[in-house]
Amino acid sequence: MPQIRMLTDLTENDRQDASPQELPLVEIRGLKTHFHTHDGIVKAVEGVDLDIHANRTLCILGESGCGKSIMARSILRIVDTPGKIVEGSILYRPGDGRSVDLARMRAGSRDLRDIRGQDIAMIFQEPMSSLGPITKVGKQIVETILLHRKVSKSEAKEQAIELLDKVGIPRPSERFEAYPFELSGGMRQRVMIAMALSCQPRLLIADEPTTALDVTTQAQILDLIAELKDELQMAVLLITHDLGVVAEVAEDVAVMYMGKIVEKGDVFSIFENPLHPYTRALLNSVPKIGQAKQHRLPAIRGMVPHPLARPSGCAFRTRCDASIPGLCDVKEPSLERCGPAEVACFLKQEEVGGD
């Protein structure tokens, strides 16, 4: 088992250490990404507000189909057709005092391509889908470097080998000559990370980067991402459905349900005092250390509704034991501050008291 930091190990100090001081690197406001399909409009992302800070890891949690990947792909503007950002902004601050709205940049424009790869890089669940199968890994990294940096071929090769070494690939000059299929899944994911880092991005987006790997390799890859984050002062947006991973690496957490953020806050408050019934249900569905093996895990009641059959009012109400008829099925709760976290639930907003 990977070393998972126990939830109780998170202290008040962690939270203070983690408080962001600077303007967010990325500020997402009112983001909506829809798919116009024959059967109707799939509202994959339906009004997301989110801040991503330098040198912090933000974990996005939520069951499959909640819009995590489409939200991440919207930032990079790589949503497949017929998906489209229909509303909202994605303000990116490159660090020179300027800010650009990624949501408004022309798809395929030079500026957007420069940001993608150079400023913001993404790694995916299955590295084989992004690594070319018939090109040696070294050459692939060299090509990425040459695309974004003004260096000679031999300098690029030197940098590529350094990167392979940095991501913990043994005998990097030998591996430079390997084809992707000659490497294990863990090594391939390391190559992907090396490629993503080749341009020293300010934001690394990792979409379930370790799901396909065994637990030991998972832990190593996550440690690697966390180390590199500290070293390069990167922002990391990590999508995962593994709460152990969240407890281990996150500073900030956002929980998504049916295209919306239903709760967000620092990792300490989310784990210590989850407010939204969905967050609670997610947290309850993990085995606790020491829990008897035969104890059946409480799954979340019901299933995520079909994207075209969005419930009225609060989308989670059909699975929520605390749902209040006449309120939760009529009005939609917005995200409001409740203590250190923000939550979109009428019940909790009333109980805890917003500002």
Q: Which residues bind Mg ion (CB under 5 A)?
A: 69
Binding partner selected for residue 66 from ligand ADP, Mg ion, none, CB under the kind-specific 5 to 8 Å limit: ligand ADP
Residue 194 CB, nearest approach to ligand ADP (Å)? 25
Residue 68 CB, nearest approach to Mg ion (Å)? 5
Binding partner selected for residue 70 from Mg ion, ligand ADP, none, CB under the kind-specific 5 to 8 Å limit: ligand ADP
CB 198 within 8 A of CB 141: yes
**What is the Cα gyration radius of the chain?**
21
In whole angstroms, what is the distance from residue 207 CA to residue 239 CA?
5
Residue 125 CB, nearest approach to Mg ion (Å)? 8
Binding partner selected for residue 37 from Mg ion, ligand ADP, none, CB under the kind-specific 5 to 8 Å limit: ligand ADP
In whole angstroms, what is the distance from residue 148 CA to residue 138 CA?
16
In whole angstroms, what is the distance from residue 18 CA to residue 252 CA?
8
Segment contacting ligand ADP (CB under 6 A): 46-54, 67-75, 137-145, 292-300? 67-75
109 binds ligand ADP (CB under 6 A): no
In whole angstroms, what is the distance from residue 320 CA to residue 277 CA?
7
35 binds ligand ADP (CB under 6 A): yes
User: Comparing C-alpha atoms, which of 60, 90, 52, 63 is closest to residue 74?
Assistant: 90
Residue 48 CB, nearest approach to ligand ADP (Å)? 11
Which ranges in 213-266 belong to alpha helices (H)?
A: 215-232, 243-249
93 binds ligand ADP (CB under 6 A): no
Residues 258-297 that bind ligand ADP (CB under 6 A): none
Contacting ligand ADP (CB under 6 A), which of 10, 28, 66, 169? 66
CB 230 within 8 A of CB 223: no
Binding partner selected for residue 62 from Mg ion, ligand ADP, none, CB under the kind-specific 5 to 8 Å limit: ligand ADP
Site string for ligand ADP, 151-180 (x = CB under 6 A): ------------------------------
User: Comparing C-alpha atoms, which of 260, 251, 344 is closest to residue 55?
Assistant: 251
Dump the DSSP string for 303-322: -PPPTTSPPSSSTTGGG-TT
Strands, E assignment, the chain? 26-37, 40-52, 57-61, 83-92, 100-101, 120-123, 203-207, 235-239, 252-257, 260-266, 336-338, 341-343
In whole angstroms, what is the distance from residue 328 CA to residue 314 CA?
5
Choice between 69 and 118, CB closer to Mg ion: 69
254 binds ligand ADP (CB under 6 A): no
In whole angstroms, what is the distance from residue 176 CA to residue 187 CA?
12
Residue 69 CB, nearest approach to Mg ion (Å)? 3
Contacting ligand ADP (CB under 6 A), which of 24, 54, 56, 69? 69
64 binds ligand ADP (CB under 6 A): yes
Binding partner selected for residue 186 from Mg ion, ligand ADP, none, CB under the kind-specific 5 to 8 Å limit: none
Contacting ligand ADP (CB under 6 A), which of 26, 59, 70, 161? 70
Residues near ligand ADP (CB under 6 A) are 35, 37, 42, 44, 62, 64-70, 80, 83, 307
